Amino acid sequence: MLAAERQSRIVDVIRKKGSVHVDELAKELSVSPMTIRRDLVKLQQDDRIERCHGGAMAKQEVTYEDKLTSHKKEKEKIARCCFSYVSEGDTVFLDAGTTTYEIARLIKDIPGILIVTNDLEIARLIKDSDAELFICGGSVQKSTGSMFGHYATQMLADFKFDAGFFGAASINEDFEVMTPTIDKMWLKRETPRQCRKSYLAADRSKFGRQAMTRINTLGDYSAVITDKEFAEADLERLEHMNAVIIEAK
C-alpha cells in the first residue's frame, strides 16, 4: 500500500471513530507503529487530523472567536478590495466566515443592498443596519455560527445573486478549495454557480493546507481575492485552470 493510500485510510478511520490509538491503526493496516506515527505527523502537517497522546483525533473546526482575531489585518485588506465589487441595489450572498464578516462591515451601508447569509454573526451585524437581510436556515454549527446542510442548500437553490463572496478553510497545493466538514461542501460548491460574479476571499494562511473534503477549484470562481503572492510557476498553473487572481493591496 502506498503512503498516500494508507494515509487516506487513516483519515477515514479517524473520521468514523472520532479518535484512534497508534497501535490500533498499526494492526488494522498491517504496518509498524513507527510508520503510523510518521503518517500522523504528515497528516497533522496537512491539517487533516489532530494528534493526541497515543494516537489522533478528527480535525475540529476552529471557533469563530479564534478565527476573528487570526490574520485580522489581512482579512480587512481583502474586505476593502471586495467592497469595490458591490454596487447599490445588489443582492449579495455572504458565505459563513470571518473574512466575509469583515466584508459585511463595509457593504452593509450601501444603499438598497440585500444581503443573504448563512452566518449568524453576520446576520446579527446586518440586523442593526439599513440593509435588507435574508438568513438561510438549516443545521447550526455552534462553534462557528454557520448554517449548513440539506435545508440550507435547498433554501438557496432558487436564488440568483449579483455577487457572492466565499471563504475557505483550506486551499491545497493543487489549488483545490477544501473543507473539514462534509455537510458544508454542497452549499459551498453550489452557491457560487448562482452568482453573476463569485469571489473567493482568502488570506495567504489558507494556502498550502489540506482538509478532508474537496469543494471545487480556484478556477470555479469569477476571481480569487487574496494577499498571497504566487511564484511564476504557480501563476502559470492558475492561468491554465482559468483562475483569475486579484491582489488585495
Q: Which DSSP string do the residues of 173-227 spell out, in sequence order?
A: TT-EEEES-HHHHHHHHHGGGGEEEEEEE--GGGBT---SEEEEEGGGSSEEEE-
Q: What's the rounded mean pLDDT across residues 185-210? A: 93
E runs forming strands in 19-83:
19-21, 49-52, 55-58
Could you tell me which residue, 91 or 57, shows the higher pLDDT? 91
- 118 and 227 co-located in one domain: yes
Distances (CA, A) of 149 to 117, 139, 178, 228: 14, 6, 16, 31
Cα separation, 81 vs 102, in Å, equals 11
Mean pLDDT (the chain) is 89
**Do 73 and 54 belong to one domain?**
no
Clarify whether residues 53 and 69 are in a common domain. Answer: no
Q: Is the predicted pLDDT of residue 63 greater than 70, yes or no?
A: no
Is the model more confident about 81 or about 139?
Answer: 81
239: cell is: 492561468
Is residue 112's pLDDT more than 60? yes
Between 186 and 63, residue with greater pLDDT: 186
Are 12 and 71 within one domain? no
Q: Which three cell numbers, joined as nine digits, stand for 39? A: 503518517
* 194 and 223 inside one domain: yes
| Residue 68 scores a pLDDT above 80 | no
pLDDT at 61: 56
pLDDT at 169 over 90: no
Domain with residue 221: its CATH number is 3.40.50.1360
DSSP label of 70? T
Stretch 47-71: mean pLDDT, rounded? 68
Look at residue 70 in the predicted model and tell me its pLDDT: 63
3-class DSSP assignment, residue 81: helix
Report whether pLDDT(179) > 90. Answer: no
User: For the chain, where are the E strands, in sequence order?
Assistant: 19-21, 49-52, 55-58, 91-94, 114-117, 132-135, 139-141, 146-148, 161-166, 170-171, 176-179, 195-201, 213-217, 223-226, 245-247
Please state, for a pLDDT cut of 90, what percent of the chain lies above it: 60
Number of domains in the chain: 2
Q: Are 69 and 62 in contact (CB under 8 A)?
A: no
In this prediction, residues 229-242 reach a mean pLDDT of 96
b/e for 199-222, b at 16 or more Cβ within 10 A? Answer: bbbbbbebbebbbbbebbbbebbb
Domain identity same for 207 and 90: yes
CATH number, residue 10: 1.10.10.10
Domain identity same for 210 and 87: yes
Q: In one letter, which amino acid is 164?
A: G
Among the ranges given (39-53, 93-107, 152-166), the one the predictor scored with the smallest mean pLDDT: 39-53
Q: Are residues 103 and 35 in the same domain?
A: no
Q: Quick one: 49 and 82 in the same domain?
A: no
Same domain, 145 and 217: yes
- The residue behind cell 478549495 is 177
Q: Which domain holds residue 207?
A: 65-247
Q: CA geometry: angle at 98 spanning 248 and 230, to 5°?
A: 30
